[in-house]
């Protein structure tokens, strides 16, 4: 499973990239707005830090506008993935951009039917929003299960399932169990994956026992 980090905070990304666990980055207009910086500058800086795909979202809602913005953003760096909404216009733009060799992330997916259309349009990634489905009383992971099962039936589908709107470590575990190709994780949740109280206690106990020996490991 690949880990994308869901943020536009460049310093946070820099720190997480150093762990060797980050395979890509997703951003959106909300995250970019929170950064307070120029959109293109943020995307360019992130692309320099991360060798994998960096999603940059268009803001136009018509096909021609999406194509114009997508082509412009794709010139920022070779690892830019253009993010388009799952609308008829977005899927038409997806097919054209994909045909031009551009990575495309189709976002705001809330049904298996939509995911089938995205795969037919040649999307590089489909982003089902797990947490937002949970928020309205549905089980978001059921959608991941449906999409993975459907895609597995059709080897010609090259679209990777990118579980988005991840809210907790449990979401990450469940997505991995189901077989999602990618999870895009807020930094807070990624940090939580490291934590377990028994790990902290075990390390504390080991260090206390070692201190009692009075020894040191000599490093020459």
pLDDT in tens, 123-162: 999 999 999 999 999 999 999 999 999 999 999 999 999 9
Q: Phi and psi (nearest 5°) for 3?
A: -110, 120
Comparing 61 with 218, the larger pLDDT belongs to 61
**CATH number of domain containing 157:** 3.20.20.70
Is 204 inside a domain boundary?
Answer: no
> Can you say how many angstroms the Cα of residue 122 is from the centroid of all Cα atoms in its chain?
18
Q: Which of 2, 75, 83, 195 is catalytic?
A: 83
Output the pLDDT for position 36.
83
Task: Give the residue-averaged pLDDT of 189-198.
Answer: 95
Q: Pick the closest to residue 4 from 192, 193, 162, 179 (CA basis).
A: 162
Is 141 inside a domain boundary?
Answer: yes
Residue 210 pLDDT level (bands cut at 50, 70, 90) = very high
**Please, what is the angle between helix 140-152 and helix 112-120, to 10°?**
40
In the chain, how many domains are there?
A: 1
Q: Give yes or no: 83 in active site.
A: yes
Q: How confident is the model over 32-82, as pLDDT tens digits?
A: 888 888 999 999 999 999 999 999 999 999 999 999 999 999 999 999 999
Separation between Cα atoms, residue 80 and residue 70, nearest integer Å: 10
Is 216 inside a domain boundary?
Answer: no
Is 184 inside a domain boundary?
Answer: yes
Terminal-to-terminal C-alpha distance of the chain = 39
- Domain encompassing residue 39: 2-195
């Amino acid at each position: 499973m690949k880990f994308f980090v869901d943020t536009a905070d460049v310093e946070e990304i820099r720190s997480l990239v150093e762990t060797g666990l980050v395979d890509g980055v997703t951003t959106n207009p909300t995250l970019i707005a929170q950064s307070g910086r120029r959109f293109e500058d943020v995307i360019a800086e992130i692309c320099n830090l991360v060798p994998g795909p960096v999603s940059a979202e268009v803001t136009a809602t018509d096909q021609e506008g999406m194509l114009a913005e997508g082509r412009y953003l794709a010139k920022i760096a070779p690892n830019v993935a253009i993010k388009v909404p799952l609308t008829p216009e977005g899927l038409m733009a997806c097919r054209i951009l994909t045909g031009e060799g551009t990575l495309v992330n189709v976002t705001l997916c809330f049904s298996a039917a939509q995911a089938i259309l995205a795969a037919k349009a040649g999307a590089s990634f489909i982003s089902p929003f797990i947490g937002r489905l949970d928020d309205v009383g549905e089980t978001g992971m059921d959608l991941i299960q449906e999409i993975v099962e459907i895609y597995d039936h059709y080897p010609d589908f090259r679209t990777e399932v990118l579980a988005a709107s991840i809210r907790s470590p449990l979401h990450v575990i469940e997505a991995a169990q189901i077989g999602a190709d990618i999870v895009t994780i807020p930094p807070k949740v990624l940090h939580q994956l490291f934590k377990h109280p028994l790990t902290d206690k075990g390390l504390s106990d080991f260090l206390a026992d070692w201190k009692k020996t009075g020894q040191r490991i000599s490093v020459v």
